[in-house]
């Protein structure tokens, strides 16, 4: 980890991400809120984009509010489908059923 993006923030985010059960997905805003930074939803995405740098976490269970996955990510959909996450014809996650409820 050459760049230290506030270890505290990353630790809190990963803590929440680890709590996401299989077959469920969470939104960036949801996570941001759980760590007490509801205004920093952007940071969550920004951090998760580099989280693979810190270790392997189920960051594929995190999608945006539209249920859309990362634009450049190819296997994210496959990973989620393997866990039982339902996808719509549009290629988006069915948040009505797979959204992680706290």
Partner DNA sequence: TGCATGACCTCGG
Partner DNA sequence: CCCGAGGCCATGC
Chain residues in the site for DNA (CB under 7 A)? 3-6, 9, 27-29, 32, 37, 39-46, 48-49, 51-52, 59-60, 62, 64-68, 70-71, 73, 90, 92
Q: What is the DSSP letter of 67?
A: S
Q: What is the DSSP letter of 55?
A: -
- Classified as helix, coil or strand, 27 is strand
Shortest Cβ 89–DNA spacing (Å): 11
Rounded to the nearest whole angstrom, what is the least distance from the CB of residue 31 to DNA in the complex? 9
Q: Which of 55/71 has CB closer to DNA?
A: 71
Burial of 77 (0-12, 13-18, 19+ CB in 10 A): middle
């Amino acid at each position: 980890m050459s760049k230290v993006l506030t270890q505290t923030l990353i630790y809190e985010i990963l803590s929440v991400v680890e709590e996401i059960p299989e077959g469920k997905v969470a939104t960036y805003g949801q996570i941001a809120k759980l760590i007490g930074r509801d205004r920093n939803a952007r940071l969550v995405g920004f951090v998760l984009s580099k989280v693979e740098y810190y270790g392997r976490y189920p960051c594929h269970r995190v999608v945006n509010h539209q249920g859309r996955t990362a634009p450049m990510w190819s296997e994210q959909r496959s990973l989620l489908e393997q866990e039982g996450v339902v996808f719509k014809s549009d290629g988006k996650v069915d948040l009505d059923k797979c959204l992680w409820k706290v």
